[in-house]
Amino acid sequence: MIILEDVVKNYGSDVPALNGINLHIQKGEFVFIVGKSGSGKSTLIKLLLKELDPTSGEIFVNKKNLNKVTRKKLPFLRRDIGVVFQDFRLLPDRNVYDNIAFAMKVVEAPNRKIKSRVLAMLSMVGLLDKYKSFPNELSGGEQQRVAIARALVNRPAILLCDEPTGNLDPANSNAIMKILEQANKQGTTVLVVTHNMDIVAQMKKRTITMSDGKVISDREKGGYFYED
């Protein structure tokens, strides 16, 4: 599902941001990626989306070798990957329904299908009653739930989350984790970058720790190693 082989990413400075990453993530896994600021977590996410190319090494996502995915084929790769960021990134001039529907309109889904899927996603994230609200009328936790609904509406095989609870309080963070766990139970492979070690400890999932562009520990069920 996700394989990295000897991946190096050098932005041009003396020290590479990623310095020899080897990683296998199976279909259906739920994985946390932790590590101090600058350790390379977001760089890893950007490589998986092919927003960046590695300096060397190979990356496979859904059996596709990203070094061989052409610009023309990029939309097909990205269609299979949902993404959620710390800062929500909703379209400010569209309501909740249209923010989620937009992701399906882009792939030219028929309107009837769009409606039933968007409503199903809104129900999953508990926001059916807010479908007409605009992003600036929602709390941070609600905005993030819309962002997750949007990321999942096309039923991607993989959901990548870069600090999804970074702007949220503990109650909202827990609610977001419940939704991610539900998506995972429905078969989505979920990767979550986070600094929230309380959540990592609670969830008891595979946890990969990065430091200086390397994986320094990879443990099942929430054991982690973290130096601040």
C-alpha 126/C-alpha 91 separation (Å) is 20
Residue 39 as a binder of ligand ATP (CB under 6 A): the answer is yes
C-alpha 115/C-alpha 72 separation (Å) is 29
User: Which residue, 43 or 172, is less far from ligand ATP as judged by CB?
Assistant: 43
3-state SS assignment for residue 90: coil
Minimum CB separation of residue 221 from ligand ATP in Å reads 23
User: Which residue, 43 or 189, is less far from Mg ion as judged by CB?
Assistant: 43
Residue 17 as a binder of ligand ATP (CB under 6 A): the answer is yes
Minimum CB separation of residue 42 from Mg ion in Å reads 3
Residue 76 as a binder of ligand ATP (CB under 6 A): the answer is no
User: Which residue, 7 or 138, is less far from Mg ion as judged by CB?
Assistant: 7
Minimum CB separation of residue 86 from Mg ion in Å reads 8
C-alpha 69/C-alpha 99 separation (Å) is 28
Helix 140-152 to helix 96-106 angle, to the nearest 10 degrees?
Answer: 20
Residue 42 as a binder of ligand ATP (CB under 6 A): the answer is yes
Minimum CB separation of residue 53 from ligand ATP in Å reads 13
Give me 168's structure tokens: 């949220």
Residue 41 as a binder of ligand ATP (CB under 6 A): the answer is yes
Q: Would the CA dihedral through 180, 183, 184, 190 be positive or negative?
A: negative
Applying CB under 5 A, the residues found at the interface with Mg ion are 41-42
Minimum CB separation of residue 213 from ligand ATP in Å reads 7
Nearest to 89 by CA among 150, 36, 31: 150
Among 28, 38, 140, 223, binds ligand ATP (CB under 6 A): 38
- Strand duo 30-34 + 206-211: pairing: parallel
